[in-house]
Amino acid sequence: MVGKFIGVGIGPGDPELITVKAVKTLKLVDAVAVPKTHADAPSMALSLIKHILEERMKPAEVLELVFPMTKDELEVKKLWAKNALVIAEKVERGKTIAFITLGDPLFYSTFIYLFQTIRQKYPHVALEIIPGVTSLTACAARAQIPLAEREEVVAIVPSDLDFKLIEETSGHADTLVFMKCAHRFKAIIPILRKAGFTENATVALVRRCGMPGEAVTVGSLTDAEGWVIPEDYFSMAIVKRSEFTINRR
């Protein structure tokens, strides 16, 4: 049997938004690799696919790979190298391994670093990527906000980006999507105003899309100034230049 390393997108959190191809793959692979921020942290990604693994005739090996959240580049590179070796050794022995990732594997995901490390250090390892429904499209659907039409420009912005860069980017976009947004979004509103977004521009704030505790709020930029926004990693803001009256839910 030929081994392979497969990045599998499992969608944004709603168990019904996992693709047929992802489910099929998860039922067939020898091992499922799960990213974790530390060894004893529960894995949300694993809990989302638990029912799929339970339906298997032969249990899959579960490989818990730790990727701590640190800004120490050297430490991070060492960990990618360590985890890449674990994967490469198994693939060399003919095993198929699915690395699960929330949303899509190539959209702000730990998978990217791992797959780049494997491609560099172990070029003989066969790779495949199964795309997933991203949080971007899932949040837009829940808020019923079009992401782009006609000539509109969309910018995706990590909200911890430098404010100056946020301002520059905002000046060129019709739709802005702020990832990792909750704790910083209020501070971003004045920047949007400077970039020409009017008080009636549309804002959708989506927390825990498709997960327990989901919350969707849509309003104008002025409304958003008054919102109490709890800190939540699983949150996203979509801002559109077009008026809230057009995009009202």
Tell me if 156 contacts ligand SAM by CB under 6 A: no
Taking CB under 6 A as the criterion, the residue among 93, 119, 233, 249 binding ligand SAM is 233
**How many residues of this chain bind ligand SAM (CB under 6 A)?**
24
**Interior angle at CA 167, CA 162 and CA 172, nearest 5:** 130
CA distance readout (Å), 223 to 129, 216, 218:
40, 14, 9
Tell me if 180 contacts ligand SAM by CB under 6 A: yes
Q: How far is the CB of 182 from ligand SAM (least distance, A)?
A: 8
Nearest to ligand SAM of 134, 247 (CB atom): 134
The two three-digit tokens of residue 80, written as one number: 């990618």
Taking CB under 6 A as the criterion, the residue among 125, 145, 157, 236 binding ligand SAM is 236
Tell me if 12 contacts ligand SAM by CB under 6 A: yes
Q: How far is the CB of 216 from ligand SAM (least distance, A)?
A: 10
Tell me if 115 contacts ligand SAM by CB under 6 A: no
Tell me if 107 contacts ligand SAM by CB under 6 A: yes
The two three-digit tokens of residue 73, written as one number: 């580049």
Binding part of the chain for ligand SAM, among 19-27, 62-70, 85-93, 201-209 by CB under 6 A, reads: 201-209
Tell me if 210 contacts ligand SAM by CB under 6 A: yes
Query: Would you tell me the crossing angle of helices 73-92 and 110-121 to the nearest 10 degrees?
Result: 60
Q: How far is the CB of 136 from ligand SAM (least distance, A)?
A: 6
Tell me if 13 contacts ligand SAM by CB under 6 A: yes
Q: x/- string (CB under 6 A) for ligand SAM, residues 61-80?
A: --------------------
Q: How far is the CB of 102 from ligand SAM (least distance, A)?
A: 5
Amino acid in position 33: A
Binding part of the chain for ligand SAM, among 60-68, 123-131, 218-226, 232-240 by CB under 6 A, reads: 232-240
Binding part of the chain for ligand SAM, among 120-128, 146-154, 179-187, 197-205 by CB under 6 A, reads: 179-187
Long-range CB contacts for residues 107-114, cutoff 8 Å, separation at least 24 = 107/134, 107/136, 108/158, 108/179, 109/7, 110/35, 110/67, 111/7, 111/35, 113/76, 113/80, 114/65, 114/80, 114/83, 114/84, 114/87
Tell me if 109 contacts ligand SAM by CB under 6 A: yes
| Residues of the shown chain interacting with ligand SAM in the complex, contacts defined by CB under 6 A | 12-13, 101-104, 107-109, 134-135, 139, 179-181, 206, 208-211, 233-236
